Amino acid sequence: MANPVPPRDRTDQPWRSEGAPPPPSPKKRMPGGWGSLVLTALAVYLITNIVLSFFNEGDGPTISYTEFDKQVAAGNVTKIYSKGDAIQGQLKEKRPVPDGKGDYTKFQTQRPAFADDDLWAQLTEQKVTVTAEPVVQERSFLANLLLSLAPMLLLVLLWVFIARRMSAGMGGAGGMLGRKQPPKPVEVEGGKRTTFADVAGIDEVEGELNDVVDFLKNPQAYRAMGAKMPRGVLLAGPPGTGKTLLARAVAGEAGVPFFSASASEFIEMIVGVGASRVRELFAEARKVAPAIIFIDEIDTIGRARGGGSGMGGHDEREQTLNQILTEMDGFTGSEGVIVLAATNRADVLDPALTRPGRFDRIVHVNPPDRGGREAILRIHTRQIPLAKDVDLEQVARTTPGMTGAELANLANEAALLAVKREQGAVTQSDLSDALEKVQLGAERPLVMPEEERRRTAYHESGHALLGMLQPGADPVRKITIVPRGRALGVTLSTPDADKYAYTEEYLRGRIIGALGGMAAEQVVFGVVTTGAESDLEQVTSIARGMVGRWGMSEAVGRLTAIPSDAQQAYGLSAAPSTLDTVDAEMRRIVDECYEDAVRLLGEHRDKLDALSAALLADETLEEEAAYRAAGIERPDPNAPEPGVGPNPERPPA
């Protein structure tokens, strides 16, 4: 399995990187500088000393010598300490502080030099102890220093913590506003990078990208011939075909740093942020050049620019696009940086983006052929234990049109089924059931009334029988009336080999087969139900393409009256009268096909009844059982077919 895309290491960094050397650690600076730290420390120190001075005053108030003499005479002094004329003492009982608040026990006083009292005799008479140690123990300078520094240190630590939190918060805002912070490269899990060995099924694309890999490995040989490194390569193709995986494989194969980002991650509400992020990304890539930048879904910001002045997000998108254009081929020039981009809509990109000098190559990544599907399945089952009966070639043969992502999902679904069934390995049955779940949908435990079940059996038998009767139609692989997904029943038809073009006869056969369910209900029951909704959507899509896109109508002629994008209003590319003709021709083709479907089912009513009876009995019929129940011989897979094309929604350009 391919390694996952590395995660981002910053929320404000819109790209991920792998294979780049670690950047130097930036020097950490305190917010506001050291000057503010020193001023804060001094202020805290002064405040702390003032607070401690109040506490020290409470340890022993200074009283008058008269008050002291009074307490000695009253016999309320228990001990004193004298050093010179300074006296400290302690009372037996608390007394209120003279001219002050509160009471005191310990005290300090000063004996006047002119005093002529017999202090020693009084102390002896009152049995006062004269100690050799101070009564009021004052803290040392070191103790006072520690006590004053402790709250200051706590406040400084709190200040640093708050400052860092604010700095982190401002980092996100600063990143949003384009502040440059070097990204920390993120290595892939296990240190093993994606290479072409992890890519399969798209050999022709790999061949085109090998030129880029060789240029990155041997730039001197190309420069000696005067060849310039391509600026960019655009990978265009349907979703799930492996465009992102290919980009990572190119970087891993060349051994150069790889920066990947989604185009939508550059856009913010604030105009100018996207352009700033683009500049930062290219600046980081140039530091470690040669390097590869990969931008996924580039059509998000690379759509063709309008002529009017933009506002808000539209203006931001255009500024971001302009910055990409400048970085790729402008005055700055990104020497040694190749830009790979992926899109599902190459037709909507701005012409300035796809011209030579920007994206020099446009590589179309299409769904793999049968051999490619088998190779992809082998890659995605490398870590999955397979039973001996597993035939990946047969699985690849029955999965035409599936992309690499769909095949990876198929292998994973089979592994999940094997775990649920408590098996030691994935069997062919697990792969078949997983394929049914992927193609047909999950089974629903729905109990249908017998009459509705019978109508569903005839509906699916009508699809299958017309598919069997039409020359060159895709063989019927499976019929079921077990509810799956949103459908009450499913008929699965797939070609024996990949097809890449279409004929009118084949497409008419597809329409007749799609209308078979509705025609069968009309022939047997004389009613039309809502079960044909998805069939009619398919019929409308095919008929619209035949008339408006592929020139299969004489009335419309050999022109494209409808854009390829079915979601777009198709009135923009043709006159109203032409669109009316398109509508009339679509109705004509569908009506003719419906008449043929009703006629064929009426002529082969016995086969229809037999097939529906077998379906009611078994609920699900595989390919051989379905043809046997209808009494029709299975066509030879090697016989030439008049029509081609498994999916009329995606014809070749």
Residues with a catalytic annotation lie at 460
Supply 57's token pair. 């005053």
| Bond from prior residue into 351 cis (ω within 30 degrees of 0) | no
Residue 63 in contact with residue 98, Cβ under 8 Å? yes
CB atoms within 10 A of CB 75: 13
Query: What is residue 426's DSSP assignment?
Result: B
Amino acid at 561: A
The sign of the dihedral angle between the CA atoms of 432, 436, 442, 448 is negative
Residue 103 in contact with residue 95, Cβ under 8 Å? yes
Distance CA 129, CA 120 (A): 11
Query: What is residue 637's DSSP assignment?
Result: T
Q: What is the CA radius of gyration of the chain?
A: 43
Residue 638 in contact with residue 500, Cβ under 8 Å? no
Distance CA 588, CA 594 (A): 10
User: DSSP letters of 522-576?
Assistant: HHHTS---GGGHHHHHHHHHHHHHHHHTS---TTT-SS--S-S-TTS-GGGSS-H
Distance CA 79, CA 92 (A): 9
Distance CA 284, CA 296 (A): 18
Q: Which burial class, exposed, middle or buried, applies to 109 when counting CB atoms under 10 A from its CB (0-12, 13-18, 19+)?
A: buried
Closest listed residue to residue 234, CA positions, set 125, 161, 99, 341: 341
Amino acid at 297: E
Supply 131's token pair. 């100690």
Supply 171's token pair. 């980092």
Q: Which residues touch 121 (CB under 8 Å, ≥6 apart)?
A: none
Identify the residue whose tokens are 């029988």. Answer: 465
Distance CA 483, CA 620 (A): 11
Supply 250's token pair. 């190119």
